[in-house]
């Protein structure tokens, strides 16, 4: 080999080394392992339902304060396959729930065979208990006979509770909105201001507030005719959210 071919071989070899180097370096730069956990952690956000991407829910009073019983009557169509909410109405798959607000849990409807899950639960149907029950009956009372997935949308729940409240001889005044809009997860214990606000929110407004509350006198739900609506209660949450 003469000098000239040695030089050429040298250049070829050099070029190869440079190319290899570039490949390694760019590989380092642009190759990223898929992280085990996708997304960025957000500090200070608690109570977020994983997977759903839903916002942290506010206390029941927040939604109840602006609840619309007429909209609740619409939502109640999801319940009419199993419930009648008229005075003196029959027990169906589920008990009659006329005047259910503030009644003892699982004792209200005469002649209805409640499951022990609910008849042994204790307490009464406060706003908060109804709110939690309708979100997920099986989480509120494990083993309940109410095979209904629940209403995932908090405003739907509040509306239906307002509707149930209207189905009563003596509708209760709806809770007032929590004083200062508490930060997300405002019911968190510890923050004294939040605790005070929450306590305040639990106080039912006194006096003639009740008169301001629109009371639905006519039952727009047609019991028994909406069995079709009930076909897939488990997709309810998604359906009612996409409807909006």
Q: Which residues of this chain interact with ligand HEC, rule CB under 6 A?
A: 78-79, 81-83, 93-95, 97, 100, 105-106, 108-109, 114-115, 117-118, 134, 144-148, 151, 160, 230, 233
Q: Which tokens sit at 204? A: 């039912």
CA 58 – CA 186 distance, rounded (Å)? 7
Nearer Cβ to ligand HEC (195/230): 230
- Could you tell me the smallest distance in angstroms from the CB atom of residue 147 to ligand HEC? 5
Nearer to ligand HEC, 29 or 110 (CB): 110
Q: Report yes or no: 54 and 152 within 8 Å, Cβ to Cβ.
A: yes
- Chain position carrying tokens 């028994």: 224
Assigned token pair, 112: 């209805």
* CB-nearer residue toward ligand HEC: 8 or 227: 227
- Contact call for residues 73 and 220 (beta carbons, < 8 A): yes
Cβ at position 193, least distance to ligand HEC in Å: 33
Q: How far apart are the first and last CA of the chain?
A: 82
Which of residues 97 and 158 has its CB atom nearest to ligand HEC in the complex? 97
- Tell the smallest beta-carbon distance from residue 196 to ligand HEC (Å): 30
The widest CA-to-CA distance across the chain, in whole angstroms, is: 112
Residues 23 and 34: their CA atoms lie apart, in Å, by: 20
Task: State the nearest-atom distance from the C-beta of 97 to ligand HEC, in Å.
Answer: 5
> Judged by CB, which is closer to ligand HEC: 115, or 168?
115
Which residue lies nearer to ligand HEC by CB, 67 or 146? Answer: 146
Closest contact distance (angstroms) between CB of 141 and ligand HEC is: 6
CB of 31 to ligand HEC, least distance (A): 51
Supply 36's token pair.
Answer: 């085990």
Quickly tell me which residue has 């307002």 as its tokens. 162
Q: Positive or negative CA dihedral for 76, 102, 167, 81?
A: positive
Taken as a whole, the chain contains a residue count of 244
């Amino acid at each position: 080999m003469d000098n000239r071919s040695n030089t050429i071989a040298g250049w070829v070899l050099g070029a190869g080394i440079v190319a290899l180097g570039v490949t390694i370096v760019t590989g380092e730069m642009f190759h990223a392992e898929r992280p085990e956990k996708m997304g960025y952690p957000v500090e200070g956000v608690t109570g977020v339902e994983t997977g759903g991407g839903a916002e942290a829910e506010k206390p029941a009073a927040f939604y109840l304060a602006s609840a619309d019983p007429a909209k609740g009557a619409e939502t109640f169509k999801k319940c009419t396959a199993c419930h009648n909410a008229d005075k003196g109405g029959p027990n169906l798959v589920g008990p009659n729930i006329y005047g259910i607000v503030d009644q003892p849990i699982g004792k209200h409807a005469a002649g209805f065979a409640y499951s022990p899950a609910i008849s042994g639960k204790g307490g009464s149907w406060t706003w908060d208990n109804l709110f939690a029950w309708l979100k997920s009956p099986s989480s509120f009372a494990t083993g309940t006979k109410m095979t209904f997935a629940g209403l995932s949308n908090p405003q739907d729940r509040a509306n239906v509770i307002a509707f149930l409240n209207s189905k009563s001889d003596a509708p209760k005044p709806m809770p007032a909105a929590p004083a200062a809009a508490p930060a997300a997860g405002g019911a968190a214990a510890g923050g004294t201001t939040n605790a005070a606000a929450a306590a305040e929110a639990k106080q039912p407004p006194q006096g003639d507030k009740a008169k301001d509350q629109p009371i639905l006198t006519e039952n727009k739900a047609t019991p028994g005719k909406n069995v079709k609506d009930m076909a897939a209660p488990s997709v309810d949450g998604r359906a009612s959210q996409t409807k909006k």
